[in-house]
């Protein structure tokens, strides 16, 4: 509200407090009831969640997050992004992490329950995560895709959550032209035989000409590319979606 009144950017309302824990609230999707337990984990800043599902008496929550000691949303200014001042720094490095929320642990109303948080792969910068959402949202899953905007060459990456050292990567800009891939969009094979049977659609901004890159979701090899005329330039965006049919009435 203060930002609206004083004509400040909404980013001014996003403050990271590096010495305060991250609080987790659990809500029953069927009843709307809030679980009356105080779950906390280490300080962090999260834009995007990967997936969450129940396993035995716990919830496994996977997310892409920044270290609260280094992250400040106001660092993401136009000047800093254009000049590359954040490249290869912890200010820009998001990592895939897993939080274990112990539902079965008893506690008094005033007690805080600590939730263990671990980094999936500390060597892999990871943002804009995507899974085979329509089939595995809220369920155990194996593969997650994301974007590396931390260091050049920028790339799209795939991680096996059961074996995080198994990583595939599609790099862009290796031909000498700067390139910036968008969030990958997973499109399942209509006759899919496994979780990663499909393609990734990646919109790539390039100083030569922008293009749509189509990757095999199994090994991230490019199987097709649709070039956009040089006089037509795209704009960087976080999110997109795929629809085999578009009904504009449903979008109203």
Please report the DSSP string for 64-103 in residue order.
Answer: EEEETTT--GGG--HHHHHHTTTTTSTTT-EEEEEEEEET
What is the model's pTM? Answer: 0.88
Residue 128, phi-psi category: left (phi > 0), alpha (psi -120 to 50), beta (remainder): left
- In whole angstroms, what is the distance from residue 40 CA to residue 105 CA? 13
Percent of the chain residues past pLDDT 90, beyond the cut: 58
The predicted structure's pLDDT at residue 4: 78
Is residue 48 a known part of a binding site? yes
Q: What was the pLDDT predicted at 249? A: 62
Planar angle of CA 38, 53, 193, nearest 5 degrees? 170
pLDDT at 113: 94
- pLDDT of 230 higher than 70: yes
Q: How far apart are CA 102 and CA 114, in angstroms?
A: 9
Q: What would the mean pLDDT of 219-247 be, rounded to a whole number?
A: 86
**The pLDDT of residue 242 is above 90:** no
- How confident is the model over 73-114, as pLDDT tens digits? 878 777 777 777 888 888 889 999 999 999 988 777 678 999
Q: How far is CA 172 from the centre of its chain?
A: 19
Using CA atoms, how far residue 16 sits from 90, 94, 152, 185, 225, in Å, is 14, 14, 27, 29, 40
Q: What is the CA radius of gyration of the chain?
A: 20
Residue 247's pLDDT band (cuts 50, 70, 90): low
Q: Residue 149 has which token pair?
A: 């905007």
Give yes or no for a contact between 184 and 239, defined as CB atoms under 8 angstroms apart.
no
Quick one: pLDDT at residue 250? 58
* Strands 44-55 and 58-67, sheet pairing: antiparallel
List the Cα angle 160/161/163 in 5-degree steps. 65
Q: How confident is the model over 58-77, as a mean pLDDT?
A: 88
Q: What backbone phi and psi angles, to 5 degrees, belong to 156? A: -105, 135
Report pLDDT for 248. 59
* Residue 117 bridge partners (DSSP): 99
Q: Mind listing the pLDDT tens digit for each residue in 138-147?
A: 999 999 999 9
Identify whether the C-beta of residue 157 lies closer than 8 Å to the C-beta of residue 168. yes
Is 30 known to sit in a ligand binding site?
A: no
Total residue length of the chain: 252
Burial status of residue 138 (CB atoms within 10 A of its CB: 0-12, 13-18, 19 or more)? exposed
């Amino acid at each position: 509200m203060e930002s609206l009144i004083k004509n400040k950017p909404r980013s001014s309302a996003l403050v990271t407090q590096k010495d305060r824990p991250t609080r987790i609230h659990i809500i029953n999707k069927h009843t709307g009831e809030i679980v009356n337990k105080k779950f906390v984990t280490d300080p962090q800043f999260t834009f995007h969640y990967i997936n969450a599902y129940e396993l035995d008496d716990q919830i496994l929550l996977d997310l892409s997050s920044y270290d609260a000691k280094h992250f400040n949303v106001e660092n993401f200014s136009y000047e800093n992004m254009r000049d590359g001042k954040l490249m290869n720094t912890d200010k820009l490095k998001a990592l895939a992490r897993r939080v274990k929320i112990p539902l079965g642990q008893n506690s008094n109303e005033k007690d805080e329950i600590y939730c263990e948080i671990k980094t999936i792969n500390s060597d892999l910068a990871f943002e804009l995560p995507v899974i085979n959402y329509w089939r595995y949202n809220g369920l155990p899953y194996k593969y997650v895709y994301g974007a590396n905007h931390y260091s050049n060459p920028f790339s799209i990456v795939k991680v096996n959550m059961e074996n995080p050292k198994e990583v595939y990567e599609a790099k862009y800009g290796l031909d000498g032209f700067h390139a910036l891939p968008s969030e990958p969009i997973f499109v399942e094979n209509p006759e899919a035989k496994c979780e990663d049977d499909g393609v990734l659609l990646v919109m790539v901004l390039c100083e030569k000409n922008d293009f749509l890159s189509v990757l095999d979701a199994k090994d991230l090899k490019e199987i097709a590319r649709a070039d956009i005329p040089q006089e037509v330039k795209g704009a960087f965006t976080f999110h997109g979606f795929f629809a085999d049919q578009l009904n504009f009435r449903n979008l109203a």
